[in-house]
Amino acid sequence: MQKNDFTNHNEYIEYLKSKKIAIVGLGIGNIDLFKFLSQKGVNVTGFDKSDDFEDLKTDLADYPNSSLISGNDYLDKLTGYDVIFKTQSMRRDMPQFADAVRNGAVLTSEMWEFIKYCKAKIIAVTGSSGKTTTTTLIGEFLKEQGYKVWVGGNIGTPLFHRLDEINVNDYVVLELASCQLQMFGEKSPDISVITNITPNHLDFHDDYDEYIYCKSIIFKYQKKNDIVILNQDNDITKALIETAPSETYTFSRINRYDGKNSFKGAYLDDNAIYVNIDGKINRILDIKDIKIPGKHNIENYMAAILATYSLVDTATMLHVAKTFNGVEHRVEYVRTVNGVRFYNDSIGTTPSRTVASLQSFDQKVILIAGGYDKHIPYDIMGPLINEKVKGLVLLGQTKEKIKDAYKAHSCNAILNEAETLEDAVYKAFNMADEGDIVIMSPASASFDMFKNFEVKGNLYKQIVNSL
């Protein structure tokens, strides 16, 4: 029987010292966890398919209780452990994990243990798109207001090993993916945001329903006075309103408070963002003051405003709106070559994200798309191409699916195919005239050719900067 009722993280770490601990998958979050627990004297073994951990192997000389297991059969050696921290990219029902749990192991994650033991207020954001920008905006609002803020989670910064530094009066802002939320137990963040839900990660989840359920875990265990913020314009998140156990705010670009309806939240009217909470209406931001382009970013601002509404002054929000340049790889301007503007949107890993990104522009663009197949539908790409695309360059595993959508909607955009990203950029540039826009927004993940979307985006920028 495993003990799990500790009052703080230091008690938990003391408990771990008496157990055999496995950390499976030594990515960004788990490698810091491995080092932290090793430094604390915990008997910990790191598991990873890769053997490319030379620096970590050197550090092992200082950690006599720690070891590494790697190679193609590394999971076959996952036996006899009391607590297993799994990486977010691995399903919790994998046979090796299931066997370990049947034999008495506790399966957990770095993020869930952080949530359990964090004493500061937590604001967390999930969604199929917009979550990184929204998370970053919330962090910027709070920092500009003068709070001590910790931003982490799926945005790339693990925080469990920083728990000693995080004070009760600080604020923690987390970006959470569905695969992280899948590991959560009976605690939810104090303020939870779901930006939207559209088909995504169906290569990881059993089906769309499971994906939706995992997203909803972000508010499942909230208390009555906690807050959940949902997108009223998204059918899935709108349907979740009735299931929330906490105070619910919504945001909408379509609906607005008319003095009679029960709308509580943020809405768009007269080219400005308004907030109505308990009948008190405040004009927060004029849309013209938001520096980053795109209707989807108006929604991101609405969500961030609601998440910090009781904490941040309107003047602070306005200052951030006028100065915030956006997040790298998200409709990121790269450069202009011979009058052709190039944008990098490598975070556009689903059709819905690419749709939102292309709505940022008032003209048709030349689109570079395609990549790893996450087994999601591409039907919406057809109408998008007809409306927003004058030239299309396809590559990667999903190019045939996108081409099928192109044909099904009788698209007339010029179509080209490429074998490499460099080839795709050159073909797009050759299709462009002065005044045109070229944007890479793959509508697909990057794993068929690249480690992640950041690597793909950085290579794209490198190629564009060499033109």
The model's pLDDT over 24-73, given as tens digits with 9 standing for 90+, comes to 998 777 889 999 999 999 999 999 887 767 777 777 778 888 888 988 88
pLDDT for res 88? 85
Task: Render pLDDT for 122-142 as a digit per residue (tens, 0 to 9).
Answer: 999 999 889 999 999 999 999
- Domain co-membership, 346 together with 443: yes
Same domain (yes/no): 42, 143: no
Mean pLDDT is lowest, of 53-62, 91-100, 129-138, 458-467, for 53-62
Tens of pLDDT along 436-449?
A: 999 999 999 998 89
The reply to whether 104 and 117 lie within a common domain is no
Do 268 and 298 contact (CB within 8 A), yes or no?
Answer: yes
Spatial strand order of the sheet with 280-286 comes to 149-153, 171-175, 121-126, 191-194, 227-231, 247-252, 265-269, 272-277, 280-286
37, part of any domain? yes
Q: What is the pLDDT of residue 205?
A: 56
Share of residues in the chain with pLDDT > 70 (%): 96
Task: Please count the structural domains in the chain.
Answer: 3
pLDDT digits (tens, 9 = 90+) for 321-369: 999 988 888 888 899 999 999 999 998 998 988 988 888 898 999 999 9
Same-domain status, 132 and 73:
no
Q: Name the token pair of 278.
A: 């308990």
Q: Where are the beta strands (DSSP E) in 290-421?
A: 332-337, 340-344, 365-369, 389-394, 414-417
Mean pLDDT of 182-210: 83
91 and 186 belong to one structural domain: no
Residue 265 — left, alpha, or beta (φ > 0 → left; ψ -120 to 50 → alpha)?
A: left
Domain boundary at 323, 343, 367, which?
323
> What pLDDT, in 10s, does the model give residues 154-168?
886 899 999 999 999
pLDDT bin (cut points 50, 70, 90) of residue 1 is very low
Q: Are residues 39 and 117 in the same domain?
A: no
Q: What are phi and psi of 265, to 5 degrees?
A: 150, -145
Domain CATH code at residue 155: 3.40.1190.10
| Final residue belonging to a domain, choices 53, 76, 108 | 108
For 450, the token pair is 């690249």
Do 13 and 152 reside in the same domain of the chain? no
Q: Is residue 243 part of a domain?
A: yes
From 304, 323, 342, the end of a domain falls on 323
Shared domain check, 174 and 213? yes
Opening angle at CA 72, ends 66 and 78, nearest 5: 45
Indicate which CATH number applies to the domain containing 393. 3.90.190.20
More confident residue, 352 or 259: 352
Burial 222-236 (b: 16+ CB within 10 A, else e): beeebbbbbbbebeb
Strand duo 265-269 + 247-252: pairing: parallel
For residue 1, is it within any domain? no
Task: State pLDDT tens for residues 380-415.
Answer: 899 999 999 999 999 999 999 999 999 999 999 999
* Reported pTM: 0.81
- Across the beta sheet with 437-440, what order do the strands follow? 332-337, 340-344, 437-440, 365-369, 389-394, 414-417
Tokens (6 digits) for 74:
């590394």
Q: Does some domain include residue 4?
A: no
In a domain, 359, yes or no: yes
Whether residues 165 and 310 share a domain: the answer is: yes
Q: Which residues have a Cβ under 8 Å from the Cβ of 137 and sit 6 or more positions away?
A: 300, 301, 304, 320, 324
Question: What's the rounded Cα separation, in Å, for the pair 454 and 457?
Answer: 5
* 362 and 407 part of one domain: yes
Tell me if 195 is assigned to some domain. yes
Q: Tell me: do 314 and 336 sit in the same domain.
A: no
Does residue 278 carry a pLDDT above 80? no
Q: Please report whether residue 60 resides in a domain.
A: yes
> Among candidates 308, 248, 301, which has minimal Cα distance to 278?
248
3-class state of residue 122 by DSSP: strand
Residues 84 and 188 in one domain: no
Q: 84 in a domain, yes or no?
A: yes
Model pLDDT, residue 439? 98
The whole domain housing 212 covers 113-323
Q: Residue 319 corresponds to which tokens in the numbers above?
A: 């200052």
Q: For the domain that residue 104 is a member of, what is the CATH number?
A: 3.40.50.720
